[in-house]
Amino acid sequence: MLELDYTNILDTAVGAAHGIPKIAFEKMDSSSKHLIADLETARAAGNLGFADVPFDDETTLAVARFAKDRAFPAVLVIGIGGSALGPAALDAALGRPNSGKRLVVLDNIDPDFVRDTLDTLVPEDTIVNVIAKSGVTAETMSTFGVVHRWMTGALGGRAKEHFAVTTDPEKGDLLQIARQEKYPVFAIPPNVGGRFSVLTPVGTLPAALLGLNVHELMEGAKRAAIQSQKPFLENPAMAAAFIQFVLERDRQKKMLVLFPYSQALWKFAFWFKQLWGESLGKKVDRRGRDVYYGQTPTAALGVTDQHSQLQLFIEGPNDKSFLLWAVREFRDPVSIEHAFATFDSMAYLQNKTMAELFQAERQATEIALTEASRPNATVWMDRINEDSMGELFMFSQYLTAYAGELYDINAFDQPGVEYGKKLTFALMGRDGFSEYNRKIDDIRKRDRAVIK
Amino acid sequence: MLELDYTNILDTAVGAAHGIPKIAFEKMDSSSKHLIADLETARAAGNLGFADVPFDDETTLAVARFAKDRAFPAVLVIGIGGSALGPAALDAALGRPNSGKRLVVLDNIDPDFVRDTLDTLVPEDTIVNVIAKSGVTAETMSTFGVVHRWMTGALGGRAKEHFAVTTDPEKGDLLQIARQEKYPVFAIPPNVGGRFSVLTPVGTLPAALLGLNVHELMEGAKRAAIQSQKPFLENPAMAAAFIQFVLERDRQKKMLVLFPYSQALWKFAFWFKQLWGESLGKKVDRRGRDVYYGQTPTAALGVTDQHSQLQLFIEGPNDKSFLLWAVREFRDPVSIEHAFATFDSMAYLQNKTMAELFQAERQATEIALTEASRPNATVWMDRINEDSMGELFMFSQYLTAYAGELYDINAFDQPGVEYGKKLTFALMGRDGFSEYNRKIDDIRKRDRAVIK
């Protein structure tokens, strides 16, 4: 069971200037009732699509059945943003190097990256999962074009058997192409946005193709969904949202450091980074006022970044809130038995385990942050498996949705990136975007300031 | 040749509230003379070790000669922080998947990560490079203990031939162990700190073992070192430092977004994140005043993070400065020729290249950031190769050193992480750290606040 330890968020731990008094949590227990009710109303009306996803047993079963017959050693995902970060996070947490299966994600159009990535793949051994909610994403469609040619060039007519598409069930070019080419199609529910789609076939199809147990993933997600509708003091997602909201707004913690103490959760941190940044980074609130909200998420890895970012976290400006993820049990604690016990720097490690050292360093960092008055909370998991990852994803999604309620913004759109997409189309000469070329021409005429 | 384009830092591009007037650069040209002279004085006195590293041709030659005879397909680096991020950045930028060589970096002590990583390696085919400046780093020494046992268990007495050590030339347990075991030893000059060590054998030995040309790496680094001693308006490193200093201090850009438009530079961004965060994140300045300085670096990848972080960058608080890295030429532009030209979302891509789309998106992002008054500068490189990477590393190191001068702090220490190390030793029962156990016991007695 996931737990939220917020001891080091309290003013008793980090002082009144940086912490939250315990009484604020008790007050929130009563004043939060309407927020929990509002979110449940939104869900019942079909406006909180992600929350219902794990309860769709039929889709989970269809995904698992489909994957069972596909014995491809390489799973190539073509997608970007939510269509890449979810599958990558699942693989990093649950994939094993010697499973005989590997995930490769083409989530960038850097041409050298595309070329190098294809050079590591054998068409015959690869299943390609093209993922795009809209079915028109420039990066995904161009990469699909290149990969389709690569696959067809190698396998001819048999190439068809190496593609599966995940997209909107009703619209978009990718859906039409899949129908034309007779590719299997998996649906992203129309009321689920990209960054909230990890538990739809966006995440579950690659996971199942890698041999992971998607039923257990959904069990954990269901549990977290149910827990996230409970009253405040039994609801870690709501409590975590409240903490970040207060720290950002009233304690000037303008950054949220996502700090997993688990290598398995490193890519999960990048998934969360999109979830938090894109959901809460908003110019206008629901009343239409200009607010320019958004706590900036940044990722740090325990213990690795103790030797990179921790100096800044401890001695730099006290402008960050820390969210640690900790795991109680590892698959193998790894004994440290060595031949160098006569050396001071190795003697104390003899007959200990890597797990002990890892946990000691996590605890030391927690204490050091707290002593430096840096507010930090820890999300605890017993272990990393399908069940706990499903729980963690759903917890994170509810946490973000609750934060959206507290800020009173729309957590489910991303209007700020449309302008750049239109400029790209204009630059690429796509029909219908010529008005943007005037702006581009103006900019090209400007003198550049360059030092070389 | 590396170029700094700061057009979109100027007030004429992003407005007076967020930009810098051109006249400030002209003023700085005269007022910066003493800073450039001060840094050169420090260098001449041996206090700017990193600047001299590429001119040590003898070491470069020794590294290249050593690597020439070691035909191991896998290079395993054991190191953390500066001893891992440099080699990883070099490999990500310059390694090729089909070169027959691969780099594996054990830079975390998560036991499952250590176990999984060793499961991907064959002792016979692996050379282990243990890297630690101090020669006593807990993570590196414990991992070395585990890997030494793993290698010895497989190869017995022949295991010796599979280790090389990079450490301080005069002190530390790792040096003593290397002498006892008769491992080859490569020196990190005593006046070069971990995060400034990428051009010492810390980076060059793994690079050479991967088959990269370390002589060319040094040629680029030499050029940047010379350029970084020139007057302000011919000195991109000094100009970039000035820009970040003014934006952070006077324009409240408390975060620096490291934004490479090149997949090859993604791990370079993490190397830079340590360099910037650990060098400038300081509680006290050189006069001993409490200042709590430090602009927080965070990494975003073009174009990938346009679908993750860009929404926040465009619509969120205007509290960030952006440093883009752009590359003019790719090895292969990758033609987009596809079979789906009847679909709107693919028609405009036909007979274009991935390189064109990539550059169009970079330019669109640059314009969108600028139109939203977000100050952004771009570091331009012609292409990614050993020479240009050497130049980029040295440019970045000088940029950071100049920023340290502007803030008047010591950019070369990291006092904030010592306390956590001592707590770890106490928790692990190491002799001589029992005084820290009282603090730990106090904390263990505290009530925990938990929601589950």
* A421 is annotated as an active-site residue: yes
Per-residue pLDDT at A439 exceeds 90? no
For B201-244, give the DSSP string: HHHHHHHHHTT--HHHHHHHHHHHHHHTTS-GGG-HHHHHHHHH
Per residue in B139-198, pLDDT tens?
999 999 999 999 999 999 999 999 999 999 999 999 999 999 999 999 999 999 999 999
Per-residue pLDDT at B413 exceeds 90? yes
C-beta separation of A399 from A9 below 8 A: no
Per residue in B38-91, pLDDT tens?
999 999 999 999 999 999 999 999 999 999 989 899 999 999 999 999 999 999
Mean pLDDT of A223-244: 98
Asked if A306's CB is within 8 angstroms of B112's CB, the reply is: no
Per-residue pLDDT at B362 exceeds 90? yes
User: Which DSSP symbol is given to B10?
Assistant: B
Between positions 187 and 216 of A, the ones with CB within 8 A of B are 194-195
**A200 falls in which pLDDT band (50, 70, 90)?**
very high
Residue of chain B whose alpha carbon sits nearest to that of A271: B308
pLDDT at A444: 86
Q: Is B49-214 a domain of CATH 2.40.50.430?
A: no
* B445 is annotated as an active-site residue: no
Query: H helices then E strands: how many in chain B?
Result: 19, 13
Q: Considering only CA atoms, which of A73, A92, A72 is closest in space to residue A84?
A: A92
| pLDDT above 70 as % of chain A | 100
pLDDT at B257: 98
pLDDT at A427: 95
Dist CA A297 CA B172 (whole Å): 38
Asked if B424's CB is within 8 angstroms of A364's CB, the reply is: yes
**B15 falls in which pLDDT band (50, 70, 90)?**
very high
The per-residue pLDDT of chain B, averaged, comes to: 97
User: Which residues on chain A are in Cβ contact (under 8 Å) with B11?
Assistant: none
Between positions 103 and 142 of A, the ones with CB within 8 A of B are 107-117, 119-120, 135-139, 141-142
Give A258's strand partners: A299, A323
pLDDT at B444: 86
State the pairing for strand pair B335-336/B352-353: antiparallel
User: Which residues on chain A are in Cβ contact (under 8 Å) with B85?
Assistant: 308
For B34-97, give the DSSP string: HHHHHHHHHHHTT--HHHHGGG-HHHHHHHHHHHHT---SEEEEE--THHHHHHHHHHHHH--T
Q: Does B440 touch chain A (CB under 8 A)?
A: yes
CB atoms within 10 A of CB B71: 12
* A315 is annotated as an active-site residue: no
pLDDT at B443: 86
C-beta separation of A274 from A396 below 8 A: no
Q: Does A313 touch chain B (CB under 8 A)?
A: yes
Mean pLDDT of B257-280: 98
Q: Does A146 touch chain B (CB under 8 A)?
A: yes
Taking the complete model, does pTM exceed 0.95, yes or no?
yes
| ipTM, 2 dp | 0.98
Per-residue pLDDT at A71 exceeds 90? no
Q: Which two tokens stand for residue A450?
A: 């360059």
User: Which residues on chain B are in Cβ contact (under 8 Å) with A259?
Assistant: none
pLDDT at B310: 98
| pLDDT above 90 as % of chain A | 97
Fold match between domain B3-42+219-407 and domain B49-214: yes
The per-residue pLDDT of chain A, averaged, comes to: 97
Closest partner residue to B142 (CB to CB) among A85, A336, A384 is A336
Q: Is A50-213 a domain of CATH 3.40.630.30?
A: no
Asked if B449's CB is within 8 angstroms of A5's CB, the reply is: yes
Per residue in B363-412, pLDDT tens?
999 999 999 999 999 999 999 999 999 999 999 999 999 999 999 999 99
Which region among A115-124, B21-30, B439-448 has the lowest average model confidence (pLDDT)? Answer: B439-448
pLDDT at B101: 97
Tokens 């997949």, residue? Answer: B263
User: Which DSSP symbol is given to A314?
Assistant: H
**A446 falls in which pLDDT band (50, 70, 90)?**
confident
Structural domain boundaries in chain A:
3-42+219-407, 50-213, 415-445
User: Which DSSP symbol is given to B284?
Assistant: B
Per-residue pLDDT at A442 exceeds 90? no
Closest partner residue to B296 (CB to CB) among A239, A255, A345 is A255
Is the model more confident about B442 or about A108?
A108
User: Which DSSP symbol is given to B339?
Assistant: S
- CATH code of the region B3-42+219-407: 3.40.50.10490
pLDDT at A30: 92
Closest partner residue to A333 (CB to CB) among B111, B119, B331 is B111
**B236 falls in which pLDDT band (50, 70, 90)?**
very high
**B442 falls in which pLDDT band (50, 70, 90)?**
confident
Of B139, B278, B386, B405, the catalytic one is B278
pLDDT at A445: 87
Q: Considering only CA atoms, which of B216, B250, B206 is closest in space to residue B389?
A: B216
